[in-house]
Structure 1
Amino acid sequence: MLAELTPALIAEVERAAQLLKSKSRICILTGAGISAESGIPTFRDKQTGLWENYGVEDLATPEAFTRDPKLVWSWYQWRRQLVADKAPNPAHHALAQWQYHTQTSDQTVTLITQNVDDLHEQAGSSVTHLHGHLWRNRCGQCNAPYQEQSSAPSDHQDIMQNTMSVNTHLDMSFDNTLLTCSHCGGYIRPDIVWFGEALPVQAWQTAEEAAANCEVFISIGTSSLVYPAAGLAQLAKQNGAQVMEINPNPTPNTIVDITFAEKAGVILPPLIEAITDL
């Protein structure tokens, strides 16, 4: 795989691989860029079709759901349908391969994502979601999980071997009919962290602890400018970690030690191959 890169990139990948092989605790934060390589539009992409006249405040806030639950639910059903046939790309598989390799090594790779899709899980990774799960639902009133509608796969730890997971969402219903909670009668909403809502406590604690204790922090496909997640790289740096970024549009950030201005699917496969000696 290294042969496909420019000489300058090969040198940087080899340098990064040597650094990562020498460290025990790695924290990785992924964002919309890694999913975009699988064909999933980023949240900031212009809405199309029926949704082009709606803004974030109409579709992704608690106030919007209170005001017009049918509109918000319909938009998320549309998003689910858009994402249902998407599959993990080489970057997802490389990260899963790395985590699998650490089961027989002294290295720990903690994977945190801002994405709400389950492409990391489909590839075989264990991942902490900061912004919720597109394929899960809960009551908007009492917060009880809505199990019947949840099609998210559980753990894919045993299906790692660089094979494409069977997508479990293609036979899902994308009906726009509002659902109600069997406990309190409230409307069911996506289990997503909307604008103005706090991040899930346990997930954020996991992310903070991993960032504070890591030796290398890797930001992949995210600008590292949106807080609170952007603060994780700073936390890692403050505690002595080296910071690496993989992003076609690098962040103008002085705390980054190694920058790959490339797609994750280009950099991660040869990088992980060099780390794991596979």
Structure 2
Amino acid sequence: MRVTVFSGAGISAESGVPTFRDAETGLWAKVDPYEISSSEGWRAHPDKVWAWYLWRHHMMGAVAPNEGHRAVAAWEDHAEVHVVTQNVDNLHERAGSRNVHHVHGSLFEFHCDRCGTEYAGPIPDMPEPVESVQPPRCVCGGLIRPNVVWFGEPLPDDAWEQSLEAVVHADLLVVVGTSSVVYPAAGLPELAVAHGTPVIEVNPEPTPLSASATVSLREKAASALPGLLQRLPSLFD
């Protein structure tokens, strides 16, 4: 059996990572999102953007995978599992998932903004936010930036192609913790529906996908995902 999991911010929020779409506690409520999540903002204030992402890097590294992440990793004992995630954290990998495709990049990878060379040098810890930190420089003179997709940037080709393949060839798609409004990634569950693939949505709140999902579970990931494969016969009765 081939299972593809499409995960969003909700599953990481259960580990304590603030979501960007939480009106009261979200990180975007504290900063101008365009200023720290666009190539224009990077060119204008790379020191400010770098400081912001160092803080996010610390926050995401300080939390642990939850039961939802660990359940998905454990499914590999029973199925071929691919994880397509909109999250830039590494919680799926830390839980033990081996096939993880980051359609919005990863905060735990870095590259030069000029030549594109991967950066494997030291990353300072940033336990408290500060306004400005100069990013490292590449040998070519370019600045080292986080390997995340900013506003207006294309999705990474390799991750996108691998994600499409994982969704098209899946026997089951589990969509967990995503608002299903951020395109083009939100089009992946729609692609599965169009192919006639069973889609299980796991989300405490209804989303635009709910009407077309085969099954919608109004639960959090940490409670719904453990044992989900064993529940499949009853869910599809």
Per-residue CA distance 1:110-164 (angstroms, 9 max, x = gap): 11111111111111002111111112211111111111136xxxxxxxxxxxxxx
TM-score scaled by length of structure 2: 0.88
Counterpart CA distance in 2 for 1:149 and 1:192 is 18
Q: Which runs of 5+ in 1 are unaligned?
A: 1-23, 151-171
Aligned to 1:109: 81
Q: CA RMSD in A?
A: 2.2
> Is 1:199 equivalent to 2:176 in the alignment?
no
Cα contact 1:213–1:236 (8 A) shared by 2: no
Cα contact 2:20–2:28 (8 A) shared by 1: no
Cα contact 2:175–2:201 (8 A) shared by 1: yes
SS of 2:185's partner is coil
Per-residue CA distance 1:217-276 (angstroms, 9 max, x = gap): 11100011211111111111111101110011121432111001110001111324557x
> Which structure 1 residue ranges, 4+ long, deviate > 4 Å from structure 2?
50-53, 272-275
Cα contact 2:21–2:28 (8 A) shared by 1: no
Counterpart CA distance in 1 for 2:24 and 2:38 is 16
Alignment of 1:1-278 (within 5 A): 24-45=1-22, 54-99=31-76, 101-102=77-78, 107-126=79-98, 127-149=100-122, 173-174=125-126, 176-182=133-139, 184-253=140-209, 254-272=211-229
**Structure-2 change in CA distance of 1:251 and 1:52 (3 Å):** closer
Aligned residues: 225
SS of 2:118's partner is coil
**Alpha-carbon offset, residue 81 of structure 1:** 2.0
- Worse-superposed segment, 221-230 or 39-48: 39-48
Cα contact 1:139–1:146 (8 A) shared by 2: yes
Counterpart CA distance in 1 for 2:51 and 2:32 is 14
**Alpha-carbon offset, residue 41 of structure 1:** 0.4
**Structure-2 change in CA distance of 1:47 and 1:190 (3 Å):** farther
Percent sequence identity is: 44
Counterpart CA distance in 1 for 2:20 and 2:125 is 23
Amino acid at match of 1:146: Y
Counterpart CA distance in 2 for 1:96 and 1:268 is 10
**Alpha-carbon offset, residue 215 of structure 1:** 2.3
Q: Which runs of 5+ in 2 are unaligned?
A: 233-237
Cα contact 2:198–2:213 (8 A) shared by 1: yes
